[in-house]
């Protein structure tokens, strides 16, 4: 029996085990939407295509499964771009399906035509323009394979309307054969032995864990590595949750807004074990002074990350989980020395702290969220101060419980990503920690949350500023607050207008009860926390500075 291209798309998605799609219809995807109409696939109609991309991204990060978004040609496709770039920077498996004008209209500046494969070339792991319906099933198979293996990433498939209409026999391929794409999964044995030797000789080891640990589901292996080597563990923003922050060896996040203990430990260590991390500038600060006394072992599935920013002594290309399993098997139990005590003393001496002065503080809101959810919630963030406080003042113990746009730093990411996360993990409490600036960038997705009754809680840390930019203006631009003073709507009324529950909290004592009420409401909620206006995120490493030289805290 022959199927249309649109039917093949739906069938192929089902073959891949897709359960949810986030999308927005339009002219060139009409055939796909028609096929969706009687399919068992659950489609969530967002209010802006950017929301679809972020929701699929949040779904992917929360579940580990690929997220799927769908948009029409031209503006629909270009609206996905920020979401695709966000997923690309954070290695999120995302499939973006876009409609395209019919093949014979391509290249003629047709209505709603945009060269989306050209546009997304630098922000996708790979992309396809399907010009023959016989290639469609194979292309989808390849797209899922590329998106989910090796270092994951977004893959876009652009599908002209006539391809959706044309018919062919459907057979979903069993395997892919891409001769130019063969990710290295198993670590080199020689290099693993070299790592064992370095670890055996190290006196002051530190583990620096990134998002790769979460992506490859290697938390248990990381835990074992930490205990075997008795290494203090610091994580990047993307690595949060990879190692329990309640563990005595955890020193929290490192880098620009990292803890003093993490930054001191990295600066003083003689062996840095980098696991699934990429030495981003927000982590290293001044490169010459980053871990200056350390030998470096770098484990990553992407060979191009090794040696990109820092010189590495032992490079191990491979899947983090597979490499750590093999490495752990070869390691002997190390004994704690004076080093671990020293790090513990830093931890005790320099905890994250803020000043209580009677005005509602953002940090205490995050601490209350931690208490009320027992650390069991999925925390999604926007970008800016809200993101950093959420990273600092909640103690994450499990992977995939902290979801944030790290690499691209996309404001407006949080709410749609929270919706996606809640769709993927309906049994978890999902809280979007937002700023009053960021939330206004994709606030329209409240309608999506209400429409499908997806009970996400938006906790706005409202200071009527673009807080992080204001903080930089305060510190580096002599308090010249150029266009960072921002007014918002009445968020309580706005929530109600959307059909959500709205609350406002201005005092510390009301934070807990409001959160409780929000969780029990089991429907979309916005809580407008009116906070100290000029609160800063500390500690802070000035951009380009050495990470052991921190301001504040």
Active-site residue list = 49, 111-112, 161, 468
Q: What is the DSSP letter of 153?
A: -
In the complex, minimum distance from the CB of residue 178 to other proteins, in angstroms, rounded to a whole number:
6
551 near other proteins (CB under 8 A): no
Select from 2, 107, 178, 356 the one that contacts other proteins (CB under 8 A): 178
Give the residue from 56, 3, 5, 67 showing the smallest Cα distance to 30.
5
Select from 56, 146, 352, 372 the one that contacts other proteins (CB under 8 A): 146
Largest separation between any pair of C-alpha atoms in the chain: 72
Question: Of the two residues 123 and 514, which places its CB atom closer to other proteins in the complex?
Answer: 123
353 near other proteins (CB under 8 A): no
For the chain, give the number of residues.
Answer: 553
379 vs 399: CA distance, rounded Å = 11
Give the residue from 383, 393, 388 showing the smallest Cα distance to 436.
383
Residue 209: strand pairing partners? 235, 275
Question: Of the two residues 81 and 494, which places its CB atom closer to other proteins in the complex?
Answer: 81
180 near other proteins (CB under 8 A): yes
8 Å CB contact between 314 and 194: yes
- Give the C-alpha distances (Å, rounded to integers) separating 18 from 40, 145, 182: 10, 13, 24
Select from 118, 351, 543, 552 the one that contacts other proteins (CB under 8 A): 118
Report helix, strand or coil for 515: helix
302 near other proteins (CB under 8 A): yes
8 Å CB contact between 406 and 90: yes
In the complex, minimum distance from the CB of residue 316 to other proteins, in angstroms, rounded to a whole number:
15
19 vs 424: CA distance, rounded Å = 9
| Burial track 459-490 (b if 16+ CB lie within 10 A, e otherwise) | bbbbbbbbbbbbbbbbeeeeeeeeebebebee
In the complex, minimum distance from the CB of residue 510 to other proteins, in angstroms, rounded to a whole number:
50
Question: Of the two residues 89 and 265, which places its CB atom closer to other proteins in the complex?
Answer: 89
Site for other proteins, residues 304 to 343, rule: CB under 8 A: 304, 307-308
288 near other proteins (CB under 8 A): no
| Residue 533 exposure: Cα atoms within 13 Å on the Cβ side | 8
Q: Is the peptide bond before 550 cis (omega within 30 degrees of 0)?
A: no
175 near other proteins (CB under 8 A): no
| Residues contacting other proteins: total by CB under 8 A | 17
DSSP strand E in 271-385: where?
271-275, 295-300, 314-317, 378-381
Question: Of the ranges 51-59, 116-124, 467-475, 544-552, which one interacts with other proteins (CB under 8 A)?
Answer: 116-124
8 Å CB contact between 79 and 119: no
402 vs 383: CA distance, rounded Å = 13
Select from 47, 61, 125, 161 the one that contacts other proteins (CB under 8 A): 125
Question: Of the ranges 172-180, 203-211, 388-396, 523-531, which one interacts with other proteins (CB under 8 A)?
Answer: 172-180
129 near other proteins (CB under 8 A): yes
Site for other proteins, residues 427 to 446, rule: CB under 8 A: none
Question: Of the two residues 155 and 283, which places its CB atom closer to other proteins in the complex?
Answer: 155
In the complex, minimum distance from the CB of residue 305 to other proteins, in angstroms, rounded to a whole number:
9
* Tokens 């399993």 found at: 325
Question: Of the ranges 38-46, 174-182, 245-253, 366-374, which one interacts with other proteins (CB under 8 A)?
Answer: 174-182
Select from 179, 333, 338, 483 the one that contacts other proteins (CB under 8 A): 179
In the complex, which residues of this chain contact other proteins (CB under 8 A)? 117-118, 121-122, 125-126, 129, 146, 178-181, 302-304, 307-308
């Amino acid at each position: 029996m022959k199927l249309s291209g649109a039917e093949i798309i739906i069938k192929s998605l089902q073959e891949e085990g897709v359960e949810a799609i986030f999308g927005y219809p339009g002219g060139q995807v009409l055939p796909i939407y028609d096929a969706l109409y009687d399919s068992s696939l659950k489609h969530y109609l967002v209010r802006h295509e950017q929301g679809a991309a972020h929701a699929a991204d949040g779904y992917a990060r929360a579940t580990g499964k690929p997220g799927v978004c769908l948009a029409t040609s031209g503006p629909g496709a270009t609206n996905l771009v920020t979401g695709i770039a966000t997923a690309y920077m954070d290695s999120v498996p995302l499939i973006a399906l876009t409609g395209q004008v019919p093949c014979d209209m391509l290249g003629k500046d047709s209505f709603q035509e945009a060269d989306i494969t050209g546009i997304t070339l630098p922000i996708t792991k790979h992309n396809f323009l399907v010009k023959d319906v016989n290639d469609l099933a194979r292309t989808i198979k390849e797209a899922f394979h590329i998106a989910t293996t090796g270092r994951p990433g977004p893959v876009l498939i652009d599908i002209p309307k006539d391809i959706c209409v044309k018919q062919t026999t459907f057979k979903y391929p069993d395997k892919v054969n891409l001769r130019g794409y063969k990710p290295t999964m198993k670590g080199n044995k020689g290099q693993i032995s070299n790592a064992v030797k370095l670890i055996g000789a190290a006196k002051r080891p530190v583990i620096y864990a990134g998002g790769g640990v979460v992506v490859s589901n290697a938390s248990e292996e990381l835990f074992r590595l930490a205990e075997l080597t008795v290494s203090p563990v610091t994580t990047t923003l993307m690595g949060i949750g990879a190692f329990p922050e309640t563990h005595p060896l955890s020193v929290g996040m490192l880098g620009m807004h990292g803890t003093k203990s993490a930054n001191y430990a990295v600066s003083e260590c003689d062996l840095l074990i980098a696991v699934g991390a990429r030495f981003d500038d927000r982590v290293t600060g001044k490169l010459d002074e980053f871990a200056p006394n350390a030998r470096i072992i770098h484990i990553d599935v992407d060979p191009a990350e090794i040696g990109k920013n820092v010189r590495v002594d032992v490079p191990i290309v491979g899947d983090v989980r597979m490499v750590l399993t093999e490495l752990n098997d070869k390691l002997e139990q190390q004994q704690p020395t004076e080093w671990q005590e020293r790090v513990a003393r830093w931890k005790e001496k320099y905890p994250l702290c803020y000043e209580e002065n009677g005005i509602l503080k953002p940090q205490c809101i995050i601490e209350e969220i931690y208490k009320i959810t027992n650390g069991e919630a999925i925390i999604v963030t926007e970008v800016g101060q809200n993101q950093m406080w959420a990273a600092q003042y909640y103690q994450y113990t499990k992977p995939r419980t902290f979801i944030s746009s790290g690499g691209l730093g996309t404001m407006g990411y949080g709410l749609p990503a929270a919706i996606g996360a809640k769709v993927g993990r309906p049994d978890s409490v999902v809280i979007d920690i937002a700023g009053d600036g960021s939330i206004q960038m994709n606030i329209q997705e409240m309608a999506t949350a209400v429409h499908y009754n997806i009970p996400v809680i938006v906790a706005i840390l409202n200071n009527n500023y673009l807080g992080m930019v204001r903080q930089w203006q305060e510190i580096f631009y002599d308090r010249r607050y150029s266009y960072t003073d921002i007014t918002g709507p009445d968020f309580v009324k706005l929530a109600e207008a959307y059909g959500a529950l709205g609350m406002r909290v201005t005092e510390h004592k009301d934070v807990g009860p409001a959160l409780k009420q929000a969780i029990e409401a089991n429907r979309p909620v916005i809580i407008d926390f009116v906070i100290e206006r000029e609160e800063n995120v500390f500690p802070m490493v000035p951009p380009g500075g050495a990470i052991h030289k921190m301001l504040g805290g």
